[in-house]
């Protein structure tokens, strides 16, 4: 039953992990393991569609941000044509980094080493001593910045290093239905409030990805202070009602927390709730109007959380959305990126209020975030021990639950929200990548 001490050194080890998931078992060591980390870089992050940026971070021509896929630093820029391009942040001449800041605006990038110049679309346009030095041996068309394939959905820019990856639409596989709650707040959609928080954590990216794919089970305990001080409209026992929805075979999952008696679209400004009633599909309205908390993960490492929050006990407060990217920087080490998304159409006052709720609850100093990270750091530490190499965790909660036939949304949807169903789907997809099946 346990993985052998050679662990993942062999393909057989990875196959064993895959078989275990089907039976509701997952080994502890994957959450802090050098071999797993290295394999993930090659087999997961080099093949999946990875989140790069929100379009509202680069609204104008020339705007760029620098982001990562695996350990590759990329420039994500809006070119003069208005199109978004992602290019490896590495000069083709000797490999120097082109952009050294996190964000900015530039029509061209000039290498600070020998002066090669590229358009923000990645095209090579300037080579010093072109005639005298190279004598026609360089064709600029062959030496542009290395391009990364990109595609967008409702403001989200994704990139993939795999030229053979399916389309983004196919990759998301219907999860768009749920993402719209975060991305289409009002008919004009959502925008980032500002640059992301980022900080380095002693946490494996997978723990965070799993938690955000719908862990309603931890809320009454990990965030007990919120109930204790009366900052939730529901009690701990009702907080875990609702649905766990996942897209079979894709790895994406979302927990939709539901509180009996919670008013429809509670925490949204009235005019925004009205807009959503008309701009979203009737099925989406039915699901979202009764959703209190929505916490979801797009495989592998992009997550969202929407929740109403009030500093006044008993009040619905305001809805805030946090979007986060878990960028793996080592086994058991993750750089967190966290944005606050606000409805583009909302008043400045509401945007400010939502942003304040976000900082108080879920930015890096957020009262909820703090406790999650403390727990995740301890899980990560335990997972790195020698005894943990032979320990597995149970993922059998809700194994016998049958999908709700009346639920109007897509995917495999079970109730209650407290269920390991989304996690089994997440780790099943992960193991497909890890064993080279994707």
Partner 1 sequence: MAATKPDRDTVLDATEFLYREARALDERRFRDWLDYLSDDVRYEVPLRVTREGQAEWEVSPTSRIFDDDKQTLTLRVERLETDFAWAEQPPSRTRHYVANVVVDPGERDDELRVSSNCLIYRSRGDSIEPNLYSAARTDTIRRVDGRLLLARRYAVLDQSVINGHNLSILL
Where do contacts with partner 1 occur on this chain (CB under 8 A)? Answer: 100-104, 193-203, 222-225, 228-229, 231, 311, 335, 355-356, 359-360, 363-365, 367, 369-371, 373-377
Using DSSP, state whether 334 is helix, strand or coil.
strand
CB 250, min distance to partner 1, A? 30
Nearest approach, Cβ of 32 to partner 1 (angstroms)?
Answer: 14
Residue 335 vs residues 131, 191, 301, 324, 377: alpha-carbon distances, Å: 44, 22, 11, 10, 13
Q: How far is the CB of 72 from partner 1 (least distance, A)?
A: 18
CB-based burial of residue 140 (10 Å sphere; 0-12 exposed, 13-18 middle, 19+ buried)? middle
Contacts of 412 (CB under 8 A, 6+ apart): 245, 246, 247, 248, 403, 421, 425
Alpha-carbon dihedral 428, 432, 435, 438, rounded to 10 degrees: -170
Nearest distance from residue 29's CB to partner 1, in Å? 20
Kindly report whether the peptide bond that precedes residue 416 is cis, defined as omega within 30 degrees of 0. yes
Closer Cβ to partner 1, 79 or 360, answer by number: 360
How far does the chain reach from its first CA to its final CA, in angstroms?
26
Using the minimum distance from each CB to partner 1, give the nearer residue, 231 or 304: 231
Residue 264 DSSP SS3: coil
The residue (of 24 and 236) whose beta carbon lies closer to partner 1 is: 236
> How near is the Cβ of 159 to partner 1 at its closest, in Å?
21
Backbone phi, then psi, for 77, in 5-degree steps? -130, 145
Of 244, 213, 208, 240, the C-alpha closest to 227 is: 240
* Least Å from the CB of residue 335 to partner 1: 7
Compute the least distance from the CB of residue 358 to partner 1, in Å: 9
Bridging pattern class, strands 392-394 and 25-27 = antiparallel
Q: Which is nearer to partner 1, 125 or 221 (CB)?
A: 221
Smallest distance from partner 1 to CB 133, Å: 29
Asked if omega into 241 is within 30° of 0 (cis), the reply is: no
Q: Which is nearer to partner 1, 195 or 263 (CB)?
A: 195
Instruction: Say if residues 75 and 98 touch (Cβ distance below 8 Å).
Output: yes
What is the C-alpha to C-alpha distance for residues 296 and 256, in angstroms, rounded to an integer?
9
Residue 407 region by backbone torsions, left for phi larger than 0, else alpha for psi between -120 and 50, else beta: beta
CB of 78 to partner 1, least distance (A): 17
What is the spatial distance between Cα 50 and Cα 303, in angstroms, rounded to a whole number? 12
Q: Which is nearer to partner 1, 59 or 436 (CB)?
A: 59
Helices 367-383 and 348-361, axial angle in degrees (round to 10): 40
The 10 Å CB-count burial string (b at 16+, else e) for 220-233 is bebbeebbeeebbb
What's the closest the beta carbon of residue 202 comes to partner 1, in angstroms?
5
Q: Is the CB of 335 or the CB of 432 nearer to partner 1?
A: 335
Q: Nearer Cβ to partner 1, position 375 or 390?
A: 375
């Amino acid at each position: 039953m346990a993985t052998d001490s050679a662990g993942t050194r062999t393909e057989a080890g990875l196959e064993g992990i895959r078989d275990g998931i089907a039976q509701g078992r997952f080994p502890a060591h994957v959450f802090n393991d050098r071999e797993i980390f290295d394999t993930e870089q090659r087999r997961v992050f080099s093949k999946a569609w990875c989140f790069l940026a929100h379009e509202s971070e680069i609204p104008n021509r020339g705007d760029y941000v620098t982001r990562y896929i695996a350990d590759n630093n990329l420039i994500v820029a809006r070119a003069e044509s208005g199109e978004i391009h992602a290019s490896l942040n590495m000069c083709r001449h000797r490999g120097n980094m082109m952009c050294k800041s996190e964000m900015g605006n530039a029509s061209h990038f000039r290498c600070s080493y020998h002066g090669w110049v590229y358009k923000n679309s990645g095209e090579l346009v300037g080579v010093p001593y072109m005639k005298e030095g190279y004598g026609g041996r360089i064709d600029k068309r062959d030496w542009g910045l290395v391009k990364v394939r990109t595609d967008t959905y409702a403001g989200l820019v994704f990139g993939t290093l795999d030229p053979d990856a399916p389309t983004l639409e196919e990759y998301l596989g219907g999860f768009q239905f749920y993402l719209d709650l975060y991305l289409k707040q009002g008919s004009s959609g959502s925008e980032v409030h500002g640059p992301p928080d980022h900080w380095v954590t002693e946490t494996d990216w997978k723990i965070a990805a799993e938690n955000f794919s719908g862990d309603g089970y931890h809320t009454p305990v990990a965030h007990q202070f919120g109930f204790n001080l009366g900052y939730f409209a529901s009690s701990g026992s009702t907080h875990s009602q609702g649905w766990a929805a996942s897209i079979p075979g894709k790895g994406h999952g979302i927990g939709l927390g539901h509180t009996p008696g919670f008013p429809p679209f509670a925490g949204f400004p009235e005019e925004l709730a009205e807009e959503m009633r008309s701009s979203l599909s009737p099925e989406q309205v039915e699901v979202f109007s009764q959703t209190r908390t929505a916490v979801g993960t797009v495989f592998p490492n992009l997550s969202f959380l929407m929740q109403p929050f009030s500093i006044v006990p008993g009040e619905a407060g305001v809805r805030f959305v946090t979007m986060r990217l878990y960028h793996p920087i080592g086994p058991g080490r993750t750089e967190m990126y966290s944005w606050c998304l606000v409805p583009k159409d909302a008043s400045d006052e509401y945007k400010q209020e939502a942003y304040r709720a976000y900082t108080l609850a879920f930015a890096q100093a957020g009262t909820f975030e703090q406790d999650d990270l403390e727990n995740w750091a301890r899980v990560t530490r335990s997972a790195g021990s020698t005894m943990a190499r032979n320990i597995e965790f149970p993922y059998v909660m809700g194994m016998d639950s049958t999908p709700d036939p009346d639920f109007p949304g897509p995917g495999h949807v079970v109730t209650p929200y407290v269920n390991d169903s989304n996690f089994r789907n997440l780790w099943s997809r992960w193991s497909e990548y890890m064993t080279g099946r994707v």
